[in-house]
Amino acid sequence: MNFLAGIGRAVLSLLAEIGRLASFTARSIAALVSPPIYSRLIGQQIMRIGYFSLPVVGLTAFFTGGALALQIYLGGNRYGAEAIVPQIVVLGITRELGPVIAGLMVAGRVAAAIAAEIGTMKVTEQIDALTTLATNPIKYLVVPRLVAAVVTMPILVAIADSIGVFGGYVVATQSLGFTGSIYLKNTMDFATRQDITSGLIKAAVFGFVIALMGCYNGFNSKGGAQGVGRATTSAVVSASILILAANYILTSVLFNK
């Protein structure tokens, strides 16, 4: 009986959490489409979320592209299909690895920072102070972060795609014996517009998820420093899981023949 009660409690608590998240998302979207728009804050968040994530996203994309080229060469070698490296690298990077790797890296960097900042504001009553100063906290804190993440993630992923392909190019030409011009020609000829746009659509969705989970967990943090720590961890874990789940759903929708 205790076991069943435990399961019941867990299910109820999960449903309550989903309800709270859905309500927070609806309030955020409603705030997104109503004035005032804090363009100055959006600009600041674009710098924090987008510009300052460039080094980490660029580095991971470069090494991922290089490792991918190496693996495809070794795998293709078993069937005498080594020449397919540029095609598979560009496909893998633009469709999957570019957006997912960038999404996960930005989730680790940005969702944590957002949750910690908003969580600290919550426990030090700064969010209540916003309300008393006739400022809607959702509009002031959540909307600029959502807009900035949705706008900058596709740009970050476009850059990650280019650097990832370049990583594959460097490995292929420097250690696998490919000719540079042929590698690039095969890459350009094979990649389609849909390969690239599907990755950019995914990136925008991942940006929304990252900012939303950072803000939601920050807004719901309580109990001082420990609560802020818990909110930060939850933000990164939940954003990462949701990115991977959304990636699967988007792949099946975008490539459903």
Partner 1 sequence: MTAKIQLIGVKKSFGSKQVLNGIDLTIEKGSSLVVIGGSGTGKSVMIKCVLGIITPDEGTILVDGQDVTHLRGSAREPVMKKFGMLFQGGALFDSLPVWENVAFGLIQGRGMKRSIARDVAIRSLAKVGLPEDVAFLSPAELSGGMQKRVGLARAIAVDPEIIFFDEPTTGLDPIMADIINSLIASTVKDVGATALSITHDMASARKISDHIAMLYAGKIIWTGPTSQIDNSGNPYVDQFIHGRAEGPIKMAVKA
List contacts with partner 1 (CB under 8 A).
Answer: 117, 121, 124-126, 128-129, 131-136, 140
Nearer to partner 1, 77 or 124 (CB): 124
Q: Least distance (Å) from partner 1 to the CB of residue 127?
A: 9
Q: Least distance (Å) from partner 1 to the CB of residue 140?
A: 7
Nearer to partner 1, 122 or 202 (CB): 122
Nearer to partner 1, 125 or 189 (CB): 125
Cα separation values, 89 from 60, 126, 234, Å: 15, 48, 33
| Dist. CA 55–CA 61, nearest whole Å | 10
- CB under 8 Å to 113, separation ≥6 — which residues? 48, 214
Nearer to partner 1, 41 or 201 (CB): 41
The structure tokens listed for 250 are 């988007």
Residue position matching structure tokens 């002031």: 140
Q: Least distance (Å) from partner 1 to the CB of residue 130?
A: 8
| Dist. CA 114–CA 215, nearest whole Å | 6
Residue 133 amino acid letter: L
The structure tokens listed for 53 are 């994530």
Q: Least distance (Å) from partner 1 to the CB of residue 209?
A: 24
